[in-house]
Every structure is written in structure tokens, then in C-alpha cells.
Amino acid sequence: MAAMSALDAFSIDAMLPALDQISSDLNVVVENRRQYVITSIFLGFSIGVLFYGFVADRFGRKKPVIAGFLIYCFGALTCVSADSFSTMLVGRVLQGIGAAGPYVLAIAIVRDTYKGEQMARMLSLIMMVFIGVPMIAPFVGQGLLLIAGWRSIFVVLTVYSFLVMIWFWARQPETLLPQKRQELSVVKIKKSVTEVVTHPVVFRYTLVIGLLSGAFIAYLSTAQQIFQEIYQLGVRFPVVFASLASVFGIASFINSRLVETLGAAKLVKASISIIIVASAVYLLAYNELDIAPPLAIHIAYVAVIMFCFAFLFGNTTSLAMEPMGHIAGAASSVFTSLSTLLAIIVATAIGSQIDSTGHPLVIGFAVACLLSLVLCVSIKDR
């Protein structure tokens, strides 16, 4: 389950060191469009995640997971042979559609199989791997880029997904019993979508996680451009990226200790507020400069952002899903799909404005968090 869940993160973070070479080889004229290599996989993910939950409730877990792996492999091979940027983006969208299945259904399989403390233990293992991937994947991508070029990264992703698929098929039994399978219909999907978008609390938190995820995706898609080109880190980029990812992991552990005593809603509001203050200080101090601030200052700022975001994703999702216990699986698919679509719009808007200073990213964090805070303050703490 951990290997399945890591597929999506591996597909994103391993590509970061190669974005410059990909855009050069595929004749990308507008520099900021290289970010589409990252945002396009999220587009595919938002499409796929909407359907896998419903399909798995009808046909069981194994077949949709295998279908997801096969779609992913086809997308990765499309990227390997891509001779144009548009073909590359088609392959990345297919990768996102495919990766959505193993990611979403890994959690469903754990829920089918375990309860209570055992379930918490399994989910903790998955989260440990998921957090560890951003620390390792850029090194893998950088190494493959130096040794065999960027196409080799997609070859490795294909091999990885195929091996995990075989492992899953051989070792994982079906966890959804036939008597528990539900009818698949357009009416059911429409009803679930309607319930999510008309519930005031769920819809507000859907907007919040979409805004926050958009700013975070903008960071991911512009990290290579900012650190390697503006700050000239070169091959040191994976080290900095991994170090910042470790901050996220440490904060995730702290969040697990604090959330039961302080409450998810208070932690979300506090974290958003800290990001707004940090972004305001950054912009007030350096917005008048025509050059980027010192590297140490920018790293410190991003470290604060990573620390705070560890308190946002899980807690916000939990708050959004709290009223949806009666349709948790379907609601999760709808919530994730809608929030990811919003995130792509936000990330694209932020990424398109990146200049020689990186200030648009900071402004993007500030605006996204300010709007999120406005949405959150109208929701009563629970």
C-alpha cells in the first residue's frame, strides 16, 4: 500500500531536476510553461480520482487498481517517446489518471482490512513512505538525468509501477466482499456531487484545500526554476529540496501529537495565519528589490511554509469529510477531484507570473492563505 501511494509523489518529485532539460529538448519557448509537466499530472489525477472510488465500490478493489497501473505505464511510455511538448503533456495527464487509482484505493483497502489501532499503524507506515519520497526522488531524478538523460526517469517510473502492480496482483487479496458492493450509476455520482457542493461546511473546506493545494503545487512546479536558475544551485538542488521536505515530515509528526488536544480547526487557522504573516514580512522586506533576496532568507521562508502546510492538508481534509461519514468514499472522491481542479487553476495562475525574483510565488501563498482564512473564520471550531 505504501508503494502504491508513493507512485504519485515519485512521479512528481523525480521530474523536478529534469524540467529545464525537458523544456530545452522539446523546444518550449515560454520558460514558465515547463511547469505544465508538473501541473498536468495533477489534472489527470483530478479526473481519475473522481471515478475510482465509485468504480471500486461496484467492482471491487483489485481490478480498478490494475487498470490504474496499466494506464500509468502507458502514460509513462508515451513520455519516454515524446517528440513534442504536447505529447509529453498527454503522457503526464495519463500518468495522473493512472496514479489516482492506486493512491485512492490503497486507503480503501486498508480501511477494508484493518480497524482501530491496526489501521492507524498501517496508515502511519504509508504516510512515512509518502513523506520520505520527496526527500529521495529528486536525488534519483538528478542521478538518472546525469547518467542517462531525462527519458530514463520515465523508464524507471514505468518499471517501478509495473513491479508494484505485479506485487499487488500476486500478494493482495480482494478486500471488498461481493455482498458489500454497491450499484454504479450516474444518479449516485450526481447525488454525491450535489451533496458535497451544497453542504456549506464541506464546500468551504473544499475551496480552502483547493486554494492551499494550488499554492503548494505552484511551489513544486517552480522549485527547479527558482532554486536552479534564480539561485544557481545546480546539482545541489535535490539537497535543498530534500531538506525542506524533511521539515514537512517533522511538522507532520508534531501535528499528530497536537491535533487531539488543540483541535484541527484551530491548527488550520493558526498555520494559515503564520503563512500570511511570513509572506507579508518577506514582501515588505524584499519586494522593492529587483533581485531575489539571499538564498538563506528564501530557504528560511520556504521552511516556514513547509512546516505550516504539514498542519493544513490532513486537518483540512478531516474537517471537510467529518459531515460526510454516510458517503465517505464517494464524498472523498468528489472532494479530492473538485479541490484538485481548483488547485490546478491557482497553481497555473501563480506559476505563469514567476520572474527573476520569485516574488509571485510569495504573493500567491499570501493571497491563497488570506482567502482561505476568510473562508475558515466563518466555520465554527469543532
Distance CA 325, CA 174 (A): 23
Q: What is the pTM of this model?
A: 0.83
pLDDT of residue 313: 82
pLDDT at residue 381 greater than cutoff 80: no
Mean confidence (pLDDT) of the chain = 87
Give the pLDDT mean for 290-301: 87
pLDDT at residue 196 greater than cutoff 60: yes
Lowest-pLDDT range of 26-30, 38-42, 70-74: 26-30
Contacts by residues 82-90 (CB-CB < 8 Å, ≥ 24 positions apart)? 82/26, 83/26, 84/26, 84/27, 85/23, 85/26, 85/27, 85/28, 85/33, 85/36, 88/22, 88/26, 88/37, 89/36, 89/37, 89/40
Question: What does the pLDDT look like over 228-281, one tens digit per residue?
Answer: 888 988 888 899 988 998 898 888 888 878 887 888 889 999 999 999 999 999
pLDDT of residue 277: 96
What band does 17 get if pLDDT is binned at 50, 70 and 90? very high
Give the pLDDT mean for 206-218: 93
pLDDT of residue 116: 59
Lowest-pLDDT range of 76-85, 156-165, 236-245, 281-290: 281-290
Distance CA 114, CA 110 (A): 6
pLDDT at residue 303 greater than cutoff 50: yes
pLDDT of residue 328: 59
Indicate the length of the chain as a whole number: 382
What's the topology of domain 1-172? Growth Hormone; Chain: A; (1.20.1250)
pLDDT top residue among 176 and 73: 73
Lowest-pLDDT range of 49-58, 115-124, 293-302: 115-124
Longest dimension (CA), the chain: 65
Alpha helices by DSSP H, the chain: 2-13, 19-25, 36-59, 62-80, 85-113, 116-148, 151-171, 186-198, 200-224, 237-262, 264-286, 295-309, 313-321, 328-351, 359-377
pLDDT of residue 372: 95
Name residue, grid cell 523544456. 23
List, by residue range, all CATH 1.20.1250.20 domains of the chain: 1-172, 187-382
pLDDT of residue 382: 46
Distance CA 258, CA 266 (A): 10
Lowest-pLDDT range of 43-57, 113-127, 153-167: 113-127
Name residue, grid cell 517552480. 222
Query: DSSP labels for 255-314?
Result: HHHHHHHH-HHHHHHHHHHHHHHHHHHHHHHHTT-SSPPPHHHHHHHHHHHHHHHTTTHH
pLDDT at residue 142 greater than cutoff 50: yes
Contacts of 73 (CB under 8 A, 6+ apart): 98, 158, 161, 162, 165
Question: What does the pLDDT look like over 317-337, one tens digit per residue?
Answer: 778 877 775 665 677 778 888
Name residue, grid cell 483489485. 62
pLDDT of residue 123: 67
What band does 117 get if pLDDT is binned at 50, 70 and 90? low
Question: What does the pLDDT look like over 77-91, one tens digit per residue?
Answer: 999 999 999 999 999
pLDDT of residue 274: 97
CATH homologous superfamily, domain 187-382: MFS general substrate transporter like domains (1.20.1250.20)
Return the closest-CA partner of residue 199 out of 108, 305, 290, 325: 325
Question: What does the pLDDT look like over 120-141, one tens digit per residue?
Answer: 567 667 777 777 888 889 999 9
